[in-house]
Amino acid sequence: MGITRRIFLRNGVLAVVGTAAVPSFLTRAALGAGGSNTHNKRLVVIFQRGAADGLNIVVPHGEQQYYAMRPNINIPHKAVLDLDGFFGLHPSLGPFHPLWRQGHLAIVHAAGSPDTTRSHFDAQDYMESGTPGVKATEDGWLNRCLQALPRPSKKSAFRAIALGPSLPRILSGAEPAVALNSIEDFTIGGRSQKASSLANTFEAMYDHSLDAMLHGSGEQTFDAMKMLKSADPAKYKPAPGADYPRGRFGDSLRQLAQLIKANLGVQVAFADIGGWDHHVNEGSTEGQIANVLREFSESLAAFWTDLGDLGEDTVIVTMSEFGRTARENGNRGTDHGHANVMFVLGGPVKGGKVYGRWPGLDQSQLYEGRDLALTTDFRQVLGEAVARHMENKNLNEVFPRHENQSSKFLKLLG
């Protein structure tokens, strides 16, 4: 069948990728989702697209050189949310501070891809494929991660899910995955005009299909889509204290929490947030970076609160394609750099600590004389999440061409 590899509904609502024929796959999913959520381990990956400024996110306020190189956009000592006397959080990351104190949040500084590209497109591609410097990789590392995972007792269409209009590079591959832009739009029936339009689109696709095997199976697809009605999107209320900010990222995480709590068998998930490419007027405690960090931290903190006890079996990892220059530029912004910062949040996380070796910001310590040097390969962090949390020990399959040695783990997961 011509559709056995992938099928995208290009109005931004649904994307399904898999090796099985789509109708039969969705039929199996319609028969029942995975087992109890309390026994499912989950990995959630968040991508900060645009190259976030790690030095203004987790601030090395104990290093005077930081202030010397950023006279206009530094985060003043008095504004930094201190962590350990040397590092501190940007004040817009206030929602992260209690997570740090409670031991749920860990930080890995001077981390990222060892590839030296300063191209957004290439760097994002490498981090999603998990093969820095290799453009020929066909699938994403998060999809490869699924291949050796323990499977739920019942098959689920929502085992791997991305919140967005189309399936991202990181989830492309042999394992079935779904991209969902909106639960409300995805659900068939109800009052949603978009849902009605989606149903009509599917009906037209099946009615006019030239493939006899596909024709007539639209009802099976609708059965799978009706699974989402168990989440009752129109009436869903987040847990008390889970105050999601308005905006695409907060909406994505709210819907992801809804899917997880609806017992739909989610094992891996992906969401992204843009707005990090601050070449001009980056700001300090106020401005562009402060605004996006507020949305970022409020959304993730709400998601964590919303998960409740399910957070004990959940690990959330954040990453960005590269960092920014150590020095501010002439436009009170920062240019494309190298190493960055990663957050790891979850029940098994040994939080309250900044992991990784700090390389320093003296001129002789900078990468190419301009950037924070890299001391932790992002695959070390992700590999530990895959192997120790998700229990996929086949790291050479997930991250080929990388030295996947447990001795190099940061031991940030219990």
Q: What is the pLDDT of residues 225-251, one digit of tens each?
A: 666 666 566 678 999 999 999 999 999
d(C-alpha 57, C-alpha 72), whole Å? 15
Q: Please give the helix or strand (H or E) that residue 27 lies within, else none.
A: helix 22-30
What are phi and psi for residue 411, nearest 5 degrees? 60, 45
Helices vs strands, H then E, count in the chain: 13, 14
Give the residue with greater pLDDT, 168 vs 215: 168
Please check the confidence at residue 313 and state whether its pLDDT lies above 50.
yes
Mean pLDDT of the chain: 84
Percent of the chain topping pLDDT 70? 77
d(C-alpha 229, C-alpha 187), whole Å? 7
270 is a domain residue? yes
| Helix%, strand%, coil% for the chain, nearest 5 | 35, 15, 50
Give the contacts of 414 (CB within 8 A, at least 6 positions apart). Answer: 348, 349, 350
Please check the confidence at residue 374 and state whether its pLDDT lies above 80.
yes
Q: How many domains in the chain?
A: 1
Give the residue with greater pLDDT, 291 vs 190: 291
Long-range interactions of 82-85: CB distance < 8 A, separation 24+: 83/58, 83/107, 83/354, 84/353, 84/354
User: What pLDDT digit, counting tens, does each position of 43-99 carry?
Assistant: 999 999 999 999 999 999 999 999 999 999 999 999 999 999 999 999 999 999 999
Please check the confidence at residue 351 and state whether its pLDDT lies above 50.
yes
Tokens matching residue 274 = 């843009």
Q: Please give the helix or strand (H or E) that residue 193 lies within, else none.
A: helix 193-207
| Amino acid at the residue 106 | A
- Average the pLDDT over 172-181 and give the result: 90
- Average the pLDDT over 2-15 and give the result: 35
**Least confident stretch, 32-36, 94-98, 223-227, 281-285:** 32-36
Residue 188 banded pLDDT, cuts 50, 70, 90:
very low
CB–CB of 357/376 below 8 Å? yes
Q: Can you say whether the dihedral through the CA atoms of 189, 193, 195, 200 is positive or negative? A: positive
In which domain, by residue range, is 278 found?
Answer: 6-408
pLDDT at 21: 36
91 is a domain residue? yes
Neighbours of 78 (CB within 10 A): 8
**Least confident stretch, 117-126, 233-242, 363-372, 392-401:** 233-242
Please check the confidence at residue 35 and state whether its pLDDT lies above 60.
no
Please check the confidence at residue 329 and state whether its pLDDT lies above 90.
yes
User: What pLDDT digit, counting tens, does each position of 135-171 carry?
Assistant: 999 999 999 999 988 776 666 778 999 999 899 999 9
pLDDT at 182: 84
Residue with tokens 């689109």: 201
pLDDT at 77: 97
pLDDT at 193: 39
pLDDT at 225: 64
Please check the confidence at residue 347 and state whether its pLDDT lies above 60.
yes
Please check the confidence at residue 304 and state whether its pLDDT lies above 80.
yes
Task: For 153-193, list the strands marked E by DSSP.
Answer: 160-163, 177-180
Pairing of strands 376-377, 105-112: parallel
d(C-alpha 404, C-alpha 397), whole Å? 10
- Average the pLDDT over 111-122 and give the result: 97
414 is a domain residue? no
- Per-residue exposure over 146-172, b if at least 16 CB sit within 10 Å of its own CB, e if not: beebeebeebbbbbbbbbbbebbbbbb
247 is a domain residue? yes
Please check the confidence at residue 207 and state whether its pLDDT lies above 80.
no
Please check the confidence at residue 20 and state whether its pLDDT lies above 80.
no
Tokens matching residue 335 = 């240019």
In DSSP terms, which residues pair with 272 in a beta bridge? Answer: 47
